[in-house]
A and B are shown apart, each in its own frame.
Chain A
Amino acid sequence: DTEVTQTPKHLVMGMTNKKSLKCEQHMGHRAMYWYKQKAKKPPELMFVYSYEKLSINESVPSRFSPECPNSSLLNLHLHALQPEDSALYLCASSQDQSSGNTIYFGEGSWLTVV
């Protein structure tokens, strides 16, 4: 069983809605990540938080807004999304950002924008 928990598992939202994806880990990891995965493609990095501070933003549109309330939680706030933003959103964590650390992924949140 994954130790990175994501909610909700499925989300359908309209283009004018505001919603949030939530992620929690209790492995004591200090790096947390958001990835986006479109069908039949590999995951693409969106954001990295290191010690609760935003470390990397891969030029993600501002309609996606990450938040790290504490070392165990990571949120992704969604507002005014487009249908092309429909995808699987994966949260992940690792001990820290060092390249030798394994990144562990959650089960993902399937997002559909209508």
Chain B
Amino acid sequence: AQKVTQAQTEISVVEKEDVTLDCVYETRDTTYYLFWYKQPPSGELVFLIRRNSFDEQNEISGRYSWNFQKSTSSFNFTITASQVVDSAVYFCALRGGTASKLTFGTGTRLQVTL
């Protein structure tokens, strides 16, 4: 069985602060894929990143960075210099083996205030 845990239910930061969203996963598959999605209040799930289990390189995209560590089964997401527009619910998700099903974590609500 697959499982994704996002222990942080809600995080509040002041604009320009850095914030890290945690994601821990469980899977028995040797090949699997990890994803992060952003869901603003409008409802759309916006794809942010996909990482496969064989690629542990960290990735940076503008103010966003991701740290993938297989040793701790974690795929954490950091926003540097947060902005009000970053306010949303962020979901970490896992897809493994031949499964077409995307297993989501429970989401972390990020509130960025001025």
User: What is the CA–CA distance of A40 and B108 in the complex, to the nearest angstrom?
Assistant: 10
Interface size on B, residues (CB 8 A): 26
Q: Is A110's CB within 8 Å of the partner chain B?
A: yes
Q: Contacting A100 at CB < 8 Å: which of B45, B47, B52, B107?
A: B52
A45 and B100 alpha carbons, distance in the complex (Å) = 10
Contact of B101 among A40, A45, A104, A107 (CB under 8 A): A45
The answer to whether B95 touches A99, judged by C-beta atoms less than 8 angstroms apart, is yes
Known: A45-B102, A105-B37. A99 touches B44 (CB 8 A): no
Tell me if A99 and B106 are in contact (CB < 8 A): no
Q: Which B residues touch A56, using CB under 8 A?
A: 100-101
Which residue on B lies nearest to A88, using beta carbons? B43
Nearest residue, chain A, Cβ from B100: A97
Instruction: Report Cα–Cα, A40/B104, bound state, in Å.
Output: 13
Residues of A28-43 at the interface with B, using a CB-CB cut-off of 8 Å, are: 31, 40-43
Q: Is B64 an interface residue (CB 8 A)?
A: no
**B102 and A103 contact, CB distance less than 8 A:** yes
The 7 closest A-B CB pairs, nearest first, are A42-B104, A105-B45, A108-B43, A97-B100, A107-B44, A99-B95, A102-B50
Which residues of B approach A to under 8 Å, CB–CB?
Answer: 31-33, 35, 37, 42-47, 50, 52, 91, 95-102, 104-107
